[in-house]
A and B are shown apart, each in its own frame.
Chain A
Amino acid sequence: MSGRVIPPEGVEQHGLTREEYQKILSLLGREPNRLELGLFSVMWSEHCSYKSSKVHLKKLPTTGTRVVQGPGENAGAVDIGDGLVAVFKIESHNHPSYIEPYQGAATGVGGILRDIFTMGARPVALLNSLRLGPLESPKNRYLLEGVVSGIAGYGNCIGIPTVGGEIYFNEIYNQNPLVNVFCLGIAHKDRIFRASARGVGNTVIYIGSKTGRDGIHGATMASESFDESIEDRRPTVQVGDPFTEKLLLEACLEIMKGELIVGIQDMGAAGLTSSSVEMASRGGTGIELELSRVPRREEGMTPYEVMLSESQERMLLVAKPGLEKEILSICERWDLDAAAIGRVTDTRRLVIKEEGRTVADIPIRALTDDAPVYERPMQIPPYLDALQGINLELLPQPSDFGAVLMKLLQSPTIANKRWVYRQYDHMVRTNTVIRPGFEAAVVRIKGTRKALALTVDGNSRYGVLNPYRGGVIAVCEAARNIVCAGGRPIGLTDCLNFANPERPEVMWQFALSVEGIADACRELEIPVVSGNVSFYNETNGLGIYPTPIVGVVGLIEEVERTVRPGFRDEGDRVVLLGQTKEELGGTEYLSRIHSREGGLPPLLDLSAEKAVQKCCLDGIEAGIIKSAHDCSEGGLAIALAEAVMMSETASERASGSSWGATVVLPDLPIRRDAHLFGESQSRIIVTVAEDRLPELEQRCAEHGVSMAVIGRVEGQRLTIRAEGDSRPLIDLPLEEMRTAWEGTIESYFQEGQTER
């Protein structure tokens, strides 16, 4: 145990500051050896310790009548009735995905899946949220291809459908792409498993892949900014094996069903170290490990390498006394490695042995509760005034609004993403009611009449212009997407992607974003049950925009009540719920057509938002509303175009019945471009049969929601006219719009054979 004295560069290489090292010395009362320093390094990394974010995350509302498990476990759990819970979480795999896109994204999927089945839930759906630089750059095309095939390679193989997601393209992500993955599973409410090592003397069992030298210091890597040296970091990226994960999934669920264990934790970031330490911490116990029993991929691995490896597809279980053999025989049936590698102790210490010799001995507290917590300094970014202050009144109005609409449909952020989602198996398990390509996915719950609506969302352009509003809008828009599918939002998970927290302006952005999320969640009564923070998304000093991504889950009591965004029947009336204001700041229109990113993002009045959502859900549940689509990027005009293009289900498309619409914009004292393409919040386009209009009017009056009947579903064109005008502002054939919208992303990849 006596080690050499650690030189200063050794401390630095481990991503620890001098102050943090001093703290280690005082906690231990001695110098740590190199292995111990490595353990502190990963456990105190931003990624594992949340040392910069902890004080802010406390502001999030995490309770509610449905909450069965809030933040702090592998995933959150929300009661959905019938004795079942929805278990879900979102997580980032940004850093590894830039270094090695295929494996980075693949292991991101693997990691989030383990978080879900560790809780005793069978994963039923995956979503992802991607942020990349523009596709004009070959590097970004390479990244998108790699990330998408990585997600596909892992998710398809293990047989969990990827049912939805979203992608934004912006130059700010050129050197820091974001890959956030969301997973949802279903568990029995009374059979949720937790990551706790209880019962002194109980055996600690390792199952899954053998431990190799991959991913060592992955957690530390993910807690640093990038520079030119990133190519050298490739060895810190893990390599995924979805086939083994499939076996691990089935074996774990079988072990759980047999009630053979008291606790279980996956080996994710910081591998064997964090899994054992976290379990002991939660159990109020200690753990003693004998490393020579750990299944290894290669010979000659040091205790340091074994403890810090992030080899994938591994789990740590604490067996109930006397049931070890049954666990091992289940693993054998699934051809998985398994070994008893330690036991639970009452020492509250992590003791690591190699061939009986103690090589590390640290109090659990020192690695967890005593980890540093920072209230980092905050400061308003100096550039913010200039960014917000651009004068939009001087912006020239386009002469051809139809051309603008076509150009926006071809913005990769707005364009149809089928090139992406067709690479994902989105139907396996046969629960997918609404497939990818719409704002929320819907999966039914077998054995019940229910379904869940799922979505991920977040607009970082709003975030950089006003982080608080960015946070508020992220939550509201995600919840609105759920409502538009007929779901009642019941829980939220967030993935907070930010730049370097040691810079005061980044910390300011973070704090305000969290406040925005917290306020919106409180008003809409949606508890935050799980989440993840990803800092240091920064290369050579250039950080990303604040990018909080939220995943919202909604409950649909009867699957038949699911509503889609596309228009359905000829003659239906098109109704706009909510108000349109002159708001062009931070819009896709401003960026794409005028090449500017500035101004103030749209205002959001939380009580108005709540009323619109309640009114829409009410109308859907009463069977009045036949389709619902929210207005987001590209504003009213793009929302109408999408509703028209989504107007058929695939089966109807075969018979060639899809509908256009004729819309008359009410006279408003605002610029026409703002009316068409502004991104005013809290707006939903719905359709109703003509004879049910009075019922919708009555509901809008009850909820205090303003509504305007703006058009009719008919024809094969989208025609938008301003009230009083004789000539339409926009008049486009459906097929022309569809060709542009569907073909855009594909057109960037058209070398060689393309899918038809």
Chain B
Amino acid sequence: MRFGILVFPGSNCDHDCYHVLKHLLGQTADFIWHKETSLNAYDALVIPGGFSYGDYLRTGAIAQYSPVMKSVRDFARAGSPVLGICNGFQILLEAGLLPGAMLRNRSLKFICKDVFVRLENAQTPFTGSIAPGRVLRLPIAHAEGNYYADPETHRALVEHRQIVFRYCSADGRITDEANPNGSLDGIAGICNRAGNVLGMMPHPERCSEGLDGNTDGKSIFQSILEYHTVGRP
């Protein structure tokens, strides 16, 4: 399978995603500079985390105008998988590929730690090989991960099963205490209505290798592979 990893000025999790896809999963992976426009060669795209354009103005606000983003829209419209992680999620929101917006964490501070998320929708290209309702331990590292959407948008997200991950306690309960940043409804990740565009704040690429004994993140990348070879989950 051939993955494209977008690189904006200021992207800094690009190499981490590459490491997982190339070295752990043995797939083909290429970096795609933000000024490129052709994405025809790729089966799936990853928009990695980082600080595109230094997060100046607003997270993801400048990156959405990069030349590559028009092709990303076409790529998504064609139904191919697009995974946005952290800053990648923020870019997808700014680009209008996903609904809602990010506010600053309610602590007003950058937070880097492990959290638990519960899988709410196992029928996406990114979650097909994970058991429904499973609790994953994933790291977060962001200052603006406090997801917000107006009530109508939120209702639509629920109705169309677009909420893919929610912050939860270790035993899978959705509580305010388990919500690290104040996200609406504990939302940690959402997909578009078609299900082929996923944005998530936690970093699955940071816990795919088991350096500290945790490989929960790998299941997300494996799901993409499975979706590609077997088809719709």
Contact = CB atoms under 8 A, between A and B. Distances in A.
Q: Do A and B come from one complex?
A: yes
Interface of A: 149, 152, 156-159, 241-244, 246-247, 334-335, 418, 421-433, 435, 444, 446, 559, 649-651, 653-654, 752-756
Nearest to B12: A159
A629 B211 CA distance: 21
A154 to B, nearest CB: 11
Contacts of B214: 650-651
Given A243-B54, A430-B19, A753-B107, 10 more contacts: A157-B10, A242-B51, A242-B54, A247-B9, A422-B111, A422-B112, A654-B116, A755-B107, A756-B177, A756-B180
A650 B112 CA distance: 14
Interface in B90-112: 105-112
Nearest to B178: A756
B136 to A, nearest CB: 11
B109 A755 contact: yes
A430 B12 contact: no
A432 B108 CA distance: 25
A246 B108 contact: no
Interface of B: 9-10, 12-13, 15-16, 19-20, 49-51, 53-56, 105-114, 116, 137, 139, 141, 143, 170, 177, 179-180, 182, 203, 205-206, 209, 211-214
B169 to A, nearest CB: 10
B141 A651 contact: no
B9 A158 contact: no
A756 B116 CA distance: 13
Contacts of B12: 158-159, 246, 428
Nearest to A446: B19
B112 A425 contact: yes
A428 B203 CA distance: 9
Contacts, number: 111
Contact of B10 (A246, A424, A756): A246
B13 to A, nearest CB: 6
Q: Does more than half of chain B's interface fall in helix, strand or loop, or is it mixed?
A: loop
A159 B20 CA distance: 17
A649 B212 CA distance: 8
11 contacts: A149-B110, A156-B110, A243-B55, A246-B9, A422-B109, A422-B112, A422-B113, A425-B112, A428-B206, A430-B20, A755-B109
Given A425-B141, A654-B170, A433 B56 contact: no
Nearest to B213: A651
Contact of A650 (B15, B180, B212): B212
A243 B55 CA distance: 8
Contact of A430 (B16, B50, B56, B110): B16
Nearest to A652: B213
Nearest to B23: A446
A666 B163 CA distance: 59
Nearest to A564: B212
A430 B137 CA distance: 16
A433 B210 CA distance: 9
B51 A243 contact: yes
A432 B110 contact: no
Contacts of A559: 211
Contacts of B108: 752-753
Given A430-B209, A432-B211, A444-B211, A152 B106 contact: no
Contacts of A444: 211
A433 B212 contact: yes
Contacts of A246: 9-10, 12, 51, 54
Contacts of B141: 156, 425, 427-428
A444 B19 CA distance: 14
Contacts of A755: 105, 107, 109, 111, 180
A243 B10 contact: yes
B206 A427 contact: yes
A149 B109 contact: yes
A159 B209 contact: no
Given A246-B9, A335-B9, A427-B206, A754 B137 contact: no
Given A426-B112, A430-B206, A650-B212, A753 B106 contact: yes
A754 B179 CA distance: 12
Contacts of B170: 653-654
Contacts of A423: 109-112
Which one of B12, B141, B170, B211 has the highest number of Cβ atoms from chain A below 10 Å of its Cβ?
A: B211
Contact of B213 (A247, A425, A431, A649): A649
A158 B177 CA distance: 30
A444 B105 CA distance: 31
A433 to B, nearest CB: 5
B106 A435 contact: no
A431 B205 CA distance: 11
A507 to B, nearest CB: 41
A388 B189 CA distance: 60
Nearest to A336: B9
A243 B56 contact: yes
Contact of A157 (B16, B54, B111, B116): B54
A543 to B, nearest CB: 33
Given A156-B51, A157-B55, A243-B53, A654 B137 contact: yes
Closest 6 CB pairs of A and B: A159-B12, A243-B54, A755-B107, A157-B51, A654-B170, A425-B141
B16 A429 contact: yes
Contacts of A247: 9-10
Contacts of A335: 9
Contacts of A428: 12-13, 16, 49, 141, 206
Contact of B112 (A241, A424, A651): A424
A159 B51 contact: yes
Contacts of B105: 755
Nearest to B11: A159
Nearest to A157: B51
Contacts of A754: 107
A419 to B, nearest CB: 9
Nearest to B208: A430
A21 B134 CA distance: 74
Given A246-B12, A334-B9, A427 B139 contact: yes
A433 B212 CA distance: 6
A241 B54 contact: yes
A158 B52 CA distance: 10
A222 to B, nearest CB: 27
A650 B53 contact: no
Nearest to B14: A159
Nearest to B210: A651
Nearest to B55: A157
Contacts of A152: 110
Contacts of B54: 157, 241-244, 246
Contacts of B137: 650-651, 654
Contacts of B213: 649, 651
Nearest to B52: A243
Which one of A156, A157, A158, A425 has the highest number of Cβ atoms from chain B below 10 Å of its Cβ?
A: A425
Given A428-B16, A429-B16, A755-B109, A650 B114 contact: yes
A477 B51 CA distance: 37
A445 to B, nearest CB: 12
A452 B112 CA distance: 22
A243 B203 CA distance: 21
A431 B54 CA distance: 23
A427 B138 CA distance: 11
A254 to B, nearest CB: 12
Which one of A246, A430, A754 has the highest number of Cβ atoms from chain B below 10 Å of its Cβ?
A: A430
Nearest to B139: A427
B79 to A, nearest CB: 30
A425 B110 contact: yes
A94 B106 CA distance: 31
Nearest to B114: A650
A243 B211 CA distance: 29
A649 B111 CA distance: 19
B66 to A, nearest CB: 12
Contacts of A435: 212
B89 to A, nearest CB: 16
A701 B3 CA distance: 57
